[in-house]
Structure 1
Amino acid sequence: MAMLEFDNVEVYYGKVQALRGLSLHVDEGEIVALLGNNGAGKTTTLSTASALVKASSGHLTFNGSDISRANPWDVVSAGLIHVPEGRRIFSTLSVLENLQLGGYLVKDRSLVAARIEHVFELLPLLFERRTQQGGTLSGGEQQMLAIGRGLIAGPKMLMLDEPSMGLAPLIVNQVMDVIKEIRAQGTTVLLVEQNARAALRVTDRAYVIESGVTTVEGQAADLLNDPRIIDAYLGA
Structure 2
Amino acid sequence: MTALEVQDVDVYYGRVHALRRLSFTVGEGEIVCLLGNNGAGKSTTMNLLSGLVRPKAGSVRWNGTDLATAKPWNIVSSGLIHVPEGRRIFSTMTVHENLLLGGYSVRDKRRIDERIAHVYELMPRLAERRRQQGGTLSGGEQQMVAIGRALIGGPRLLLLDEPSMGLAPLVVKQVMEVVSAVNAQGTTVLLVEQNARAALKIAHRAYVIETGAVTLSGSANELARDPRVVEAYLGA
TM-score higher than 0.5 here?
yes
Q: Which residue of 1 aligns with 2:97?
A: 97
Q: Using the alignment, how far apart are the partners of 1:15 and 1:2 within structure 2?
A: 33
Deviation, structure 1 residue 110: 1.4
Q: Using the alignment, how far apart are the partners of 2:216 and 2:230 within structure 1?
A: 13
Matches within 5 A, 1:132-211: 132-211=132-211
Structure 2 SS opposite 1:224 = helix
Q: Using the alignment, how far apart are the partners of 1:69 and 1:91 within structure 2?
A: 33
Letter in 1 for 2:115: R
Between 62-71 and 34-43, the greater mean CA deviation after superposition: 62-71
Deviation, structure 1 residue 87: 0.2
Structure 2 SS opposite 1:141 = helix
Q: Which residue of 2 aligns with 1:118?
A: 118
Structure 1 SS opposite 2:225 = coil
Q: Using the alignment, how far apart are the partners of 1:2 and 1:66 within structure 2?
A: 14
Deviation, structure 1 residue 2: 1.2
Q: Using the alignment, how far apart are the partners of 2:73 and 2:193 within structure 1?
A: 25
Q: Using the alignment, how far apart are the partners of 1:77 and 1:57 within structure 2?
A: 25
1:16 aligns with 2:35: no
Q: Using the alignment, how far apart are the partners of 1:12 and 1:224 within structure 2?
A: 31
Deviation, structure 1 residue 95: 0.3
Deviation, structure 1 residue 208: 0.2
Q: Which residue of 2 aligns with 1:216?
A: 216
Query: Deviations for 1:204-228, whole angstroms, at most 9, x for unmatched residues?
Result: 0000000100000010011111000
Q: Using the alignment, how far apart are the partners of 1:28 and 1:202 within structure 2?
A: 16
Q: Using the alignment, how far apart are the partners of 1:130 and 1:44 within structure 2?
A: 33
Gaps of 5+ in 1: none
TM-score for the superposition, normalised by structure 2: 0.99
Letter in 2 for 1:36: G
Q: Using the alignment, how far apart are the partners of 1:164 and 1:76 within structure 2?
A: 23
Q: Which residue of 2 aligns with 1:35?
A: 35
| CA root-mean-square deviation | 0.6
1:82 aligns with 2:82: yes
Gaps of 5+ in 2: none
Q: Which residue of 1 aligns with 2:70?
A: 70
Q: Using the alignment, how far apart are the partners of 1:186 and 1:193 within structure 2?
A: 21
Q: Using the alignment, how far apart are the partners of 1:153 and 1:231 within structure 2?
A: 39
Deviation, structure 1 residue 64: 1.4
Q: Using the alignment, how far apart are the partners of 1:44 and 1:95 within structure 2?
A: 28
TM-score for the superposition, normalised by structure 1: 0.99
Deviation, structure 1 residue 58: 0.6
Deviation, structure 1 residue 113: 1.0
Percent identity over the alignment is 64
Deviation, structure 1 residue 108: 1.1
Q: Using the alignment, how far apart are the partners of 2:23 and 2:224 within structure 1?
A: 22
Q: Which residue of 1 aligns with 2:45?
A: 45
- Structure 1 segments, 4+ long, off by >2 Å, are none
